[in-house]
Structure formats: structure tokens, C-alpha cells
Structure 1
Amino acid sequence: MKKHRSVAMLAAVGLGLTLSAGLTQNATAAPSGAQPAHPRSSDDPNSLREVAESAGVLIGSGAIKSMTTTSDGRPSNYLAEPQFREVLAEEFNSLSPENDLEWTFVQPQEGVYDFEGLDRLVAFAQENDMEVKGHGLISACCNPDYLVAKIGDPVAFRAAMVEHFTTVMQRYAGKMDRWDVVSEALTTYGGEGLQHTDFYQALGPEYVAEAFRIAHAADPNAKLFLNENLVEAFPQKRQELYELVSGLVADGVPIHGVALQMHQTLQGPQPGVITEMANAYHALGLEVSIAELDVHTLDSAAQAQIYHDVVAEALNSGITEISFWGFTDKHLYTWLPGAKPLIFDEQYQPKAAYFAVLDALQDFEARPAVALQGVQADLDRYIAAGEARGPLAQQLTNVLRQAERHEAADRDAEAVSALQRALSRLENVKRTDRVSATAHDSLTRGINEVTALLARPEVQAQPAA
């Protein structure tokens, strides 16, 4: 969702909808002068990024403006601010641009591209070992006049799409590994099918499938997503999205996932809705992500609860990529006067919402299955680095896999027994084995932690996700 899109707000039912670009953005300026780095409580020493990476989760921030040629009334190039850069790199392992990839910004004149901001964004991500999603290839907004002029000539319009997709995606091949190919294809509230965008007018309803085919040809290795809003709020729109996506899959269109925006106003989605959607798309063999989460409310406690509940349900339903629509209220965009929808305040201090998200991540990380996967990932890394070699490496791999199978089948006692065999093997390293002190201590600690998790009464009673 971007500030250029016009949608109506239904505050009475607590829906997160975008108003027209002319509405007040409600940004609050931070006090002048240097601000201290955000503090980390001694009780919560880990960043979102550390906990997410331990749990195998991508935790990201979208709405990262890196271009300098913007005129939306807010500062340009957020990355020019040292504190913004510091918090972004510390707290997140993924990012995506705001409007920088919209057609009119990246190719303002036909054949003339402006990659300055996107190059800056990618360079920052590479410097800080972060992944980048290409957000905003095509949507209902931000199409330049020269493209609109081709609507009456489908052949020329499609050729322009091919040239644009190919130029942009090949430039960032291997640097942007996943893309929102089409955003907000459906009408705002559902029930009316596809929006009659410029792309629809030029190519008809098949433009969605055609866009995915063109994107796949431009970068066959990239994962391609359809990005949509408000499906968690409107059952009819939810069904329309499923029918659209399942139809694409049935037709062999190269789509790899669905990105749920998840903008919330005053209240969150009904419990179970995220799980229902995730299960439906996973059954089609697709990935599901939360792409633009923010919470617009005037009650900080309610905001924190909504953030927690959305993140917790998403993780427990198998969604392992969660991104917010920005992270600091210094650069907020809201349609609810007085709301500050993000998890850091204007001075980069973490809010209650931040700690609610952290709690949800830590609870997920503490699940035995997730912790086991973390130990296996550590072992794989040590094997690749040559710090665990010989029969020991294969034996530990086999034992951990046995423990995973037992845990998945709710055979916790057998899982613990398998882990105890792994510990015994680590304590009795043979001459034909090699394990570094670092690998030995890390694996031993990880296995002990999983064993303790399996022994918790609440884990024994916890149903499988």
C-alpha cells in the first residue's frame, strides 16, 4: 500500500485503508539535536533480527525511501540519516523500497531509468547482510504518461512491460531475490473482480498472468508474489483472491507466493483468518508472507496486542517472512489522525509494540521444532566450515533428524532420548572425528536447550501447529 493510492476508510469496523494522497500524513517531527541510540533492556538483550534469524524467520521493514527525486512532502533518502541506518541494520534482516520501484519513478521518461535510490538501497543491504524484496513492479498507481498513451495498442503496451521488467529485474538479479509483481489487483472491498487499472485496460484480465510470465522470463531464479490488501477483513475479497491465485497455479503461471499487506486500523483480524489463508495457499504449494504490517490506533496497549497477535498467528501458521510498512514514527504515514502506527517512536525508542513483536518471536523460537531446526542449521554451518568432520558429523545429523521426526509425531520422550545420544557422541569424540571447541560448545548448548524445551509441561500439552 502506498500513499498514492486512494481507498476509503471504514474506521467503524477497524479496517486499515489508505486515503487519498491529499490527506494529512500526520508525521510528527522529532526534536532537534542528536538522539541517543535506542536502548536495549537487560531483560531483552536480543534484537528482533537476532531472534528472527535464530528461528529461521525473515523480519523486514518496507517503506524504505532511498531516492532523492521524491516530492511527497516527506524527507527523501532515509538512509542518509545515521540513526535510521543503525536501527534498520540492527533490527531487521530484510528490507524493501517504498515507491522507488514504481514505474514512474524508476523510468520517468521512456528509455531513461533512475536507479540511484535503488542502487543505494541494495548497497546498504549488502553491507549489512540483508535481503531485498523488489516491491512495486506494477500497481494501480504511478504509471507515466508515455505508458498510459499505449493503452490502445496492446502489442506496444506489452512490449513496454517486457522492456521495463527485463531492464529492472536483470539489473538486480541475485540482489533482489523476490518481487511483488502485481500489487492490489482486486477492487478495494472485493465483489467486483479486478481493478480496471491501466494494465487491465490495455491487456484485459489476463494482464496478471502475463505480468508473472514476463517477470519470470526476466529473472527465472526470482520468487514472484502477488501483493494484496484487506483480504483478512473482507471474506468475499478473500475468496476472490484465492480464486485468482488458484487459477494462476492451475494454468501453470509462474507464481511463487502471496504477500498479505496486513494494514490494521483500531482492531486486528479475526483469530484464525491468517491461519486459514496460510493453509489454503500452502496447499497450493505457495509461500505466504506478511508484507506491510502496521497498526493505526490511538491506544498503545491495543496496538501492542494487535502486533503480537498478528505476528504470533502468522508464525504459528507457517509464515516465516514478516515485514512492516516502515519502522519509525519519524517517517510514518497514517490515515487516522493522531495515530502513530509503527514499532519505534520518532526518536527511535522501541515502543510497547516492539516488545510485543519480540515476545511473539521469542515464543516461536522457543518451540522445540524451531529450536531443533536451529541446532541442525548450526551443525550444517560447522560441517561446511570444516569445524565438524568425520563420522561424528554424519552421526549427529542422523540423530538430529530422528529427534525432529519424533518431535513432529509428539513422541517427546523418544526425541529426548535421541538428543541424549547426540550429547553422548559429542562427549566421546573419537580419533577419526574432528570438532572445534566452538562447535562442540555451541552444539552441546543447543541440544541441552531443546531437551529442556521438550521437558516443559506446556510443551507436552501444546498441539502441533
Structure 2
Amino acid sequence: MLPSRRQLCLGLTAATTSPLLGGCFPFDEGPDPVGPIAPLKSQVPYPVGTCAMSGQLDDPDWARLARTHFNQITPEWEMKMEYILTSRASHGDGYRFDASDRIVDWAARHGMGLHATTLIWYSQGEEAFRGLSPADYRQQFDTYIATVAGRYAGRVRGWDVVNEAVAENGEGLRQHHWAQSLGEIDHMVRAFEQAKQADPNAVLFINDYNLENNPKKGATFLNLVERLLKAGAPIGGIGTQSHLDIEIPEGQITRFIGQAAQFGLPLHVSELDASRRRGDGTPDVRTVSYRIRQQIERVKELSFAFHSLPAEQRYALTLWGVRDTDSWLRRGRYDDGKDSPLAFDANGHPTAIARALSDGWRQDTSSATS
């Protein structure tokens, strides 16, 4: 089983080459070379973002690429509850903002927008909230959101308020400690209400993954959005992480983007990447050229579908990393050192994904509302 993104971001697995995967990727030809490209952020009229860990800010090569090609930053891990909140948080003294403050300040210093993630996530917070009375549980839930969102009020464009609420297979919603203590829908409504109070001007998102890859999950997610809006949750935007499976059928991405757009809310492609390797670690008999073609077509489809939205619905398109070697997909013992899921390689050269983004943006959108 592959390690989770949580484990990888925490550094619980070492980045090593697995001999088990050696020779599993046949090379009939190398990738087509991608020449110099215009800065990604200069090619479109909406923000093009990337994610950052505070330690990357000290890497001059990373910083140069980030400043050149991106104009919005999302903290990859260090604005999430597991970093900010310690087990002492229930006593009011467990908030940790050193890394998130640094990323926010760096983005501001370089004239970049900031998208914040995430306030409530099913996988975090259980230990810190364990043992609280129902009244204290509600109070600490509200206090956390008020403290964190309030700290950055006026400095962020938007917040992922609720993250990954839909079950992995798309069959209903996840069951977890927030839902058990505050209600399956009520805890989400409450989170949005508290975030709105803390930062009235931020765009408040509900965010999830595999929405394009799994139509059932996409439909369940959009049904959840509708339920929350009917319940009065002040949702301001829809986030789709877009960790793309390059084997999904043509048109599936476009259909989901069109369905999500029907709410009239801003959309955020919030964590875009597209791995060329299978996620289960099994031998891959597909040729490299085939995988590159598939990758280009899926990323191109996504960039065109997003670019074709009405201007007011294009919040941002964010890649989940700058260079391939920065990607969560290139951490851990399953990495063979060959995957190229992002727009720049280890040396900062554009990849096939950079070309696909540009090609998608350059397609004729005259039939789309703009």
C-alpha cells in the first residue's frame, strides 16, 4: 500500500528508489523536449498557483521558479490542523504559527496571493478534542476556526474550510469524529459560519479529490454542495484537487467542470498534478510515450475546461508543487525517480505538463462565456 499524503508531508517515509520497481517502466522513446515557455502566470488572466513548505523558501532555485511562474501560494502542510494544533490546544496554549506565518509573509513580500488550507479535515483533530464535554467540544471547534482564520483575515484570498468530506468510493460521506460529535452536515455548516465570521471577505471553499476521476464521487460531492447551500452554509467556492488519473476517458474532466459550474460559484483547481505511474506499485507495461500522450491530453482537457469558464468563476488554477522532485508523489519508498507529475523537472526545465497547460489555454474559447 502506498503511504498517505499525510505521512509523506510529515516526513515519515524516506525518499528512496525501490528495486522492486526497477525495469517496470519500458522506455520506447524519451519525452519530447519542451523548449522555453512564457511564465505560466503571464498566459492567463487568473491566478496560477503552487504549494509551498516553509523550508523550500530557502532554496534559491525553487524560489526563482515560484516567483517567475506563479502568482499565488497555498501552504502545503503547515497551515493544517495537525501542524498548528497540539494536544494542549484544548487548554488554549497549543497553537503553532511559525511556518504558516513565514509562508504568508513570503507570499506578501513577493506580491503573490495566498490561498489557505485547511480548517476542518476528517483526518485531523481527533486527539486534541478527545475527552471534551459536548459544550467544550463546540467551543473549541469554534475557537480554533476563529483563531486560525482570524489570524490571517484580510491576508488570504480564500480558505478551504471543509476538506475531503466525501467517502473514498463516492458512497456517501466520511464518518469521523467531527460528524459524530457535531453532526454529519451540521459540523460543516458550523465550520463555514465560523469562518465567515472570522474572515468575511475570504472566499470559502469546500474541497475534495478524485472528483474528475470517479464520476460517482463527483456526483456525491456536488449533491453535498447543494445540501450545504440549502442548509444556509456560506459556501463561496468549489475546490477540485485534480490529482488526475491519466487513464480516465476523454470528456470526463470537462463534464465534471461543467456540472460544478452550474452552481455559479468560483471554481479552484486546487492541487493539480498527473502521475505517469500506477498508484498501486504494480508493474507498468505501458510505454513511456503512451503515458506522456495520455498525461498531456488529460491536463490539456482540464486547462481548457477551466479556461472556458466565465471569468468570475475562475478563482485559480494551482499546481501541487513547482518541480517534479517537490511533489508528494516523489516522496517515499515507492518513488523510482522517473515520474514527472508537475510542470517543471528537477532542473527547472518545463515538462510535458507545462506544454499541456499552455496548449489548453491557447485553444479557441470563442464559444465559451468569458
TM-score, normalization: structure 2? 0.80
Letter in 2 for 1:126: A
Letter in 2 for 1:213: E
Structure 1 position 136, deviation (Å): 1.5
Letter in 1 for 2:308: N
* Cα contact 2:192–2:234 (8 A) shared by 1: yes
Per-residue deviation, residues 123-159 of structure 1 (Å, max 9, x unmatched): 1111221111111112122326222333xx3321221
Match of 1:227 among 195, 204, 207: 207
Per-residue deviation, residues 111-131 of structure 1 (Å, max 9, x unmatched): 232211111111111122111
Answering whether residue 157 of structure 2 is matched by residue 162 of structure 1, we say: no
* Cα contact 2:49–2:318 (8 A) shared by 1: yes
Match of 1:351 in 2: 351
3-state SS of the aligned residue for 1:4?
helix
Q: In structure 2, what is the Cα distance between the partners aligned to 1:261 and 1:27? A: 27
Structure 1 position 78, deviation (Å): 0.8
* Cα contact 1:27–1:332 (8 A) shared by 2: no
Match of 2:175 among 196, 199, 204: 196
* Cα contact 1:148–1:198 (8 A) shared by 2: no
For these two proteins, the number of residue pairs brought into alignment is 327
Q: Which has the higher contact order (CA 8 A, sep 6+)?
A: 2
Q: In structure 2, what is the Cα distance between the partners aligned to 1:228 and 1:315? A: 20
Higher normalized helix content (fraction of residues): 1
Distance 1:273 1:163, change over 3 A: same
* Cα contact 2:150–2:198 (8 A) shared by 1: yes
Distance 1:25 1:332, change over 3 A: farther
Q: In structure 2, what is the Cα distance between the partners aligned to 1:328 and 1:105? A: 24
Structure 1 position 89, deviation (Å): 0.9
Stretches of structure 2 that go unaligned for 5 or more consecutive residues are 19-32, 278-290
Structure 2 counterparts to residues 302-313 of structure 1, below 5 A: 302-313=294-305
TM-score, normalization: structure 1? 0.64
Match of 2:5 in 1: 3
Stretches of structure 1 that go unaligned for 5 or more consecutive residues are 6-17, 29-38, 67-76, 368-461
Distance 1:221 1:22, change over 3 A: same
Match of 1:296 in 2: 275
Match of 1:83 in 2: 61
Q: In structure 1, what is the Cα distance between the partners aligned to 2:14 and 2:342? A: 17
Match of 2:157 in 1: 177
3-state SS of the aligned residue for 1:79?
helix
Answering whether residue 85 of structure 2 is matched by residue 107 of structure 1, we say: yes
Match of 1:117 in 2: 99
* Cα contact 1:27–1:333 (8 A) shared by 2: no
CA RMSD of aligned residues (A): 2.9
Distance 1:233 1:41, change over 3 A: closer
User: Percent identity, aligned pairs only?
Assistant: 25
Letter in 1 for 2:178: F
Higher Cα Rg: structure 1 or 2? Answer: 1
Q: In structure 2, what is the Cα distance between the partners aligned to 1:174 and 1:219? A: 7
Distance 1:148 1:272, change over 3 A: farther
Distance 1:304 1:271, change over 3 A: closer
* Cα contact 2:250–2:298 (8 A) shared by 1: no
Q: In structure 1, what is the Cα distance between the partners aligned to 2:4 and 2:146? A: 24
Match of 1:59 in 2: 48
Match of 2:76 in 1: 98
Structure 1 position 352, deviation (Å): 2.0
* Cα contact 1:305–1:353 (8 A) shared by 2: no
Answering whether residue 208 of structure 2 is matched by residue 208 of structure 1, we say: no
Distance 1:256 1:233, change over 3 A: same
Match of 1:47 in 2: 39
Structure 1 position 345, deviation (Å): 1.1
Q: In structure 1, what is the Cα distance between the partners aligned to 2:368 and 2:122? A: 40
* Cα contact 1:96–1:135 (8 A) shared by 2: yes
Q: In structure 2, what is the Cα distance between the partners aligned to 1:189 and 1:132? A: 31
3-state SS of the aligned residue for 2:153?
coil
Q: In structure 2, what is the Cα distance between the partners aligned to 1:133 and 1:2? A: 23
Distance 1:48 1:157, change over 3 A: same
3-state SS of the aligned residue for 2:272?
strand
Letter in 1 for 2:342: L
Structure 2 counterparts to residues 305-384 of structure 1, below 5 A: 305-318=297-310, 320=314, 321-334=316-329, 337-338=335-336, 339-363=339-363
